[in-house]
Amino acid sequence: MTRVFITGVGVVSSIGLGREEFFRALAEGKSGISTVEAFDTANLGRQYAGEVKNFRPRDHLTAAEARRTGRCSAMTLAAARMAVEDAGLGIEQTRGPRTAVVLGTTMGEADVLEDLDHAWIKNGARGVKRALIPKYGSTLLPIHVARAVGAEGMVLTLPAACAAGNYAIGFGADLIRAGRADVVIVGASEIIQELQFSGFVRLAAMAPDRCQPFDLNRKGMLVGEGAGLLVLESEEHAVRRGTRPQAEVGGYGLSCDAYHITRPHPDAVGSIAATRDAIAYSGLTPDQVDFVNAHGTGTHANDLAESKVMRDVFGDRRVPISSVKSSIGHCMGASSAMEAISCVMTIETGIYPPTIGYETPDPECDLDVVANVPRRGKADVVLNNSLAFGGYNAVMCFARPGVLPEPRRVPLQRAAS
């Protein structure tokens, strides 16, 4: 089976556009949290989110593209352009049936639906703008990207809520390993939007102004938005065009809690299984993991579940862990893809981005949290956690090229059982 490399990344975030701006801000512990401007929050009891303020679609999209995309697709497309450029791929190299696009999201074009709905509620059926209807649907995210890069293979959306990025990356890598594609543009995107913001407030999950994962005094999550896209390539394709891989996509683990629609399983059995699978499918053992990018939403239930996973999988070895969500909030569907980019940059730079706002360790979370300042450390093998809504768990492994053993279809442990 072929190895799968990450050869380019692109990101739209509340702390910057493009890989350099994004990761520099993360490493410096910058916060992208600000008062929401997209809609009126005066009545909602919460005002803060990781809103992307400096994104102008026309800086990245053609006029025609800008006309046919909602905000979520526009961010997706911008990040895809950055990723393809970062990979040094010209359209002649991505055009054709051997390129696929697999993306994740929670709600996709939520603003388009909101416009349609509001017009309908206010003015009845006559108020609904016909031209707007075809612009709605999470199906559209990969369609727009495929058009931009000339991809003619599979175009697929995996709406796996807050684990969607990992689902997309994992399946994209599978497509290459199964020989069904040479290049797959993967990733995920999400926008903040009024109904979803209000919903999280109503679930009593939202913090007032800071997201403090693993902190004793945490007050919950903050929503954020953005897009993270990555270019996956088969080893052969990458070698043939002489590109330098940024990281290798290792194995991944999936599981479903079958417990509660919004809360993680208190015993974390599903996420433990997913973590063990991510390591096993990479042909590794837990002692080889250097750093864990936490799901780290800053809710009590999540932090506890993740701490259980760390204890169960790594035992007494305290593997450094950190949560990007302290900086940019929970970008929902986009989060694990944006965080995957952070993982790639950690592998490249050896820098673990800090968990900001970490003041009082929670004794229930006995973890080595990378607190407030970045840390340098070994970064050959990095795990990316996502424990999503619906009990959807996905844990992804990324590694420095040359570290992982020969990929296998089924891990040794499983083949033997």
Partner 1 sequence: MSTLGIGREAFFRGMQAPVLLHDAPREKMETFDASKYTNPAVAEVRGFDPAKHLGDKGLRSLDRLTKLLVVAARLGMHDAGFKKDGVYVQGSPERVGICCSNAYGSLEAITELDRVAMLEDARYINPSKFPNTVANSASGYVSIWEDIRALNVAVSDGNCGALDAFACADIYLDTGRADALLVGGAEAMSEALYLAFLKLGALEAEKPSVVRGVLLGEGAALMTMEAVEHARDRGARVSAELTGYGTAFVPPESEASLIHPSREAVERAVTSALRDAGIEPKDVDVVASSVCGLRMFDEAELDALARVFPESACVAAPKSVLGETLGAGGGMGMAAALAWFDGAPPSAIVRGDAPARVNTVLVTAIGFYGNASAVVLRKPSASPASHASS
Q: How far apart are CA 183 and CA 50, in angstroms?
A: 31
Q: Which of 7, 93, 106, 189 binds partner 1 (CB under 8 A)?
A: 106
Catalytic residue among 72, 162, 211, 343: 162
Size of the site for partner 1 (CB under 8 A): 84
Catalytic residue among 330, 343, 365, 397: 330
Q: Which of 91, 239, 373, 410 binds partner 1 (CB under 8 A)?
A: 410
Q: Which of 175, 278, 331, 334 binds partner 1 (CB under 8 A)?
A: 175
Name residues contacting partner 1, limited to 292-351 (CB under 8 A).
Answer: none
Q: Which is nearer to partner 1, 203 or 373 (CB)?
A: 203
Q: Return the structure tokens found at 358.
A: 């970490």
Q: Which is nearer to partner 1, 134 or 377 (CB)?
A: 134
Tell the smallest beta-carbon distance from residue 93 to partner 1 (Å).
17
215 sits near partner 1 (criterion: CB under 8 A): no
Q: Which of 5, 22, 314, 392 binds partner 1 (CB under 8 A)?
A: 392
Q: How far apart are CA 110 and CA 137, in angstroms?
A: 8
Q: Which of 90, 97, 208, 266 binds partner 1 (CB under 8 A)?
A: 97
Tell the smallest beta-carbon distance from residue 225 to partner 1 (Å).
15
Collect all residues with Cβ–Cβ distance below 8 Å to 134 and sequence separation of at least 6: none
Q: What are phi and psi of 347, to 5 degrees?
A: -65, -40
Q: Which is nearer to partner 1, 89 or 205 (CB)?
A: 205
Tell the smallest beta-carbon distance from residue 277 to partner 1 (Å).
8
Catalytic residue among 295, 331, 365, 397: 295
Q: Which of 158, 223, 337, 381 binds partner 1 (CB under 8 A)?
A: 158
Q: Which is nearer to partner 1, 118 or 317 (CB)?
A: 118
Q: Which stretch binds partner 1 (CB under 8 A): 25-33, 172-180, 323-331, 367-375?
A: 172-180
Query: How many CB atoms are closer than 10 A to CB 287?
Result: 11
Establish whether 295 is a catalytic residue: yes
Q: What are phi and psi of 133, to 5 degrees?
A: -60, -50
Tell the smallest beta-carbon distance from residue 95 to partner 1 (Å).
10
409 sits near partner 1 (criterion: CB under 8 A): yes
Q: Which stretch binds partner 1 (CB under 8 A): 209-217, 269-277, 286-294, 320-328?
A: 269-277
Site string for partner 1, 118-157 (x = CB under 8 A): x-xxx--x--x-x--xxxxxxxx--x--xx--xxxxxxxx
Q: Which is nearer to partner 1, 203 or 239 (CB)?
A: 203
Q: Which of 198, 209, 350, 368 binds partner 1 (CB under 8 A)?
A: 198
Instruction: Output the 3-class SS for the chain.
Output: CCCEEEEEEEEEECCEEHHHHHHHHHHCCCCCCEECCCCCCCCCCCCEEECCCCCCHHHCCCHHHHHHCCHHHHHHHHHHHHHHHHCCCCHHHHCECCEEEEEECCCCCHHHHHHHHHHHHHHCHHHCCHHHHHHCCCCHHHHHHHHHHCECCCEEEECCHHHHHHHHHHHHHHHHHCCCCCEEEEEEEECCCHHHHHHHHHCCCECCCCCCCCECCCCCECEECEEEEEEEEEHHHHHHCCCCCCEEEEEEEEEECCCCCCCCCCCCHHHHHHHHHHHHHCCCCHHHCCEEECCCCCCHHHHHHHHHHHHHHHCCCCCCEECCHHHHCECHHHHHHHHHHHHHHHHHHCEECCECCCCCECCCCCCCECECCCEECCCCEEEEEEEEHHHEEEEEEEECCCCCCCCCCCCHHHHHC
Q: Which of 93, 94, 105, 322 binds partner 1 (CB under 8 A)?
A: 105
Query: How many CB atoms are closer than 10 A to CB 66?
Result: 16
Q: What are phi and psi of 322, to 5 degrees?
A: -155, 155
Name residues contacting partner 1, limited to 29-48 (CB under 8 A).
Answer: 43-45
Q: Return the structure tokens found at 108.
A: 């996709």
Q: Which stretch binds partner 1 (CB under 8 A): 5-13, 237-245, 313-321, 383-391?
A: 383-391
Site string for partner 1, 48-87 (x = CB under 8 A): --------------x-xx-xx-------------------
Q: Which of 20, 37, 59, 117 binds partner 1 (CB under 8 A)?
A: 117
Tell the smallest beta-carbon distance from residue 16 to partner 1 (Å).
28
Q: Which of 21, 28, 85, 194 binds partner 1 (CB under 8 A)?
A: 194
Tell the smallest beta-carbon distance from residue 353 to partner 1 (Å).
28
Contact indicator for 365, 304 with CB cutoff of 8 Å: yes
Give the catalytic positions in this structure: 162, 295, 330
